[in-house]
Chains A and B, each alone.
Chain A
Amino acid sequence: MTNITAILKKEFRSYFNSPIAYIFITFFLGISAWLFFRGFFLINQAEMRGFFGLMPWIFLFFIPAVTMKLWAEEKKLGTVEILMTLPIRDYEVVIGKYLASFALLTVTVLLSLVLPLSVIYLGNPDGGTLIGGYIGLLLMGGAYIAVGLFASTLTENQIVAFILGITACFVLLIIGEDIVLFNAPNWLFPIFSYLGLGAHYSSILRGVLDSRDIIYYLSLIGFFLYLSTLSVESRKWR
């Protein structure tokens, strides 16, 4: 546990040592505020459905940008050689790095709480959808981070990691969409509709916290962290 904390702290600080964290936070807050207030002033409604609805697409670009460096940079610089010869198990490094990205996401999302607070001040929104929305946001972001982290273990080029991350997240997001499901063969239908990330997100958005959705997200995260650990270990055998 102390090892995971040490890696987590180091990675989290390194986000703030470089411009990444500031760019991420600024852009995210900017875009969210714009999305929010556009709806707010145009249709004169104090609610955040539009904001939450667009988040899967905004995270699609933001999160791989946050995770792309986690392994690719270490490999490129060679620092991975010191890191992986420390008395730490490979999965501890993977989890530490994952949690660092997740912490950055959490901080950013917390900062965006200004928006719902103004909604509460100005109108009378449904508390359930708000809380559900934020939990959904973190779960979905957490799943994207796990996918992006895995993409980063595959290459030493950050741009490649970024594009792989976007592609993988995109596939996960759309396979549950109707347009894909209608064209998929029948036997794939239940698999796709379960695996699709978007469907689980929208059911949480409705304010219904179903344990199946939470289990879906947690197992998706666990699965990609496991893949990342395997990928990191594979250096030994190549």
Chain B
Amino acid sequence: MIEVRELTKSYGATVAVDQVSFDAHAGEVLGLLGPNGAGKTTTMRILTCYLSADAGSATVAGYDVFEESVEVRKQIGYLPESAPLYADMGVIEYLNFMTQVRNLPKSQRKDRTRAVIDICGLEDVIQKDIGELSKGYRQRVGLAQSLIHDPPILILDEPTSGLDPSQIIEIRNLIKNIGQEKLVLFSTHILPEVSATCSRILIINNGKIVANGTPEELSSQAEGEEIVHIAIRGSQDAIEAQLNELEFVSQWNRVDTDNGIVGYQIHASQGSDAAESLFHVVVKNGWSLTELRQESVDLEDVFLNLTDKEQA
């Protein structure tokens, strides 16, 4: 539904978005992940026709973002960062205004307003002015606004920033639900968010896409080696001599010594079943094992890896 090809946009000398290309389809929740200033917001603003690009092309639901911008905007529900809303309007008044400018038929206006109030849990605040609302409710009104015309594509810029943990979980569940039928593109710089919500992740850094895949794919990409934590009761010298001999151990660090128990972090080559082999080595030498656990490579490592490399 969204096709982006070599999109480029610069502000003066800074290149905010640099030859970005990606596709996205209905039924996907696509997370745009990157450090602050990576170009997430700029990409979204181009897709929503708020900004133009310097080069490249983008189509949304088959419409060209630059040529048929009004058609594109009809397909999209957009919530900008920090949910900017008119503080002096009432919640209902604001949603009514949105049904008008979204050109909903008169017969549907009430139903759609009702529907988004239910979806976003606004029942308690419909009598209030937006200016009186807490950050969490304001974010929900923003979300309600983006859903009011039942768009096939939803673009959300940092929808969970500034919310408390229970509100974050609510919004995430909401995004997941919506993402079952529609395309949701949302940005964040918070890592657990993407693994919890997204079906696919784009990592963007310095305006370039540095990774694109499902959370599982990205984790396995980074798994060049296995990391095992082990703690052994035995003679330190003997253990370390043995570790040096093991072929699958590429590197080890002693992490602590405590009353005859020595802890190590061991980097082993991938597919060596390091944990099992280490267990056998310990048994063979007659030491006793007090701790053995395999560390999984998570998205955080992928992210730091990719974004560090780019900066270097």
Contact = CB atoms under 8 A, between A and B. Distances in A.
B52 A82 contact: no
Interface residues of B, number: 29
A78 B81 CA distance: 9
B166 to A, nearest CB: 26
B49 A85 contact: yes
User: Interface on chain A toward B: helix, strand, loop, or mixed SS?
Assistant: helix
B73 A10 contact: no
Contact of B87 (A2, A77, A84, A86): A77
B100 interface: yes
Contacts of B11: 238
Contacts of B88: 14, 17-18
B89 A78 contact: no
A18 B51 CA distance: 31
B86 interface: yes
Query: Most chain-B Cβ atoms within 10 A of its Cβ — which of A85, A236, A238?
Result: A85
Contacts of B82: 78
Contact of A85 (B48, B100, B103): B48
A237 B52 contact: yes
Interface of B: 11, 45, 48-52, 70-71, 73-74, 76, 78, 80-82, 84-89, 93, 97, 100-103, 145
Given A79-B84, A235-B50, A85 B70 contact: no
A96 to B, nearest CB: 9
A138 to B, nearest CB: 27
Q: Interface size class for chain A?
A: 20 to 34
Contacts of A9: 97, 100
Interface in A60-87: 77-82, 84-87
A191 B73 CA distance: 43
Interface in A151-202: none
A216 to B, nearest CB: 33
A86 B102 contact: yes
Contacts of B100: 2, 5-6, 9
Given A3-B103, A7-B101, A236-B52, A85 B89 contact: no
What 5 A-B pairs are tightest by C-beta distance, nearest first? A78-B84, A6-B100, A236-B52, A87-B73, A81-B80
B50 A84 contact: yes
Contacts of B87: 77
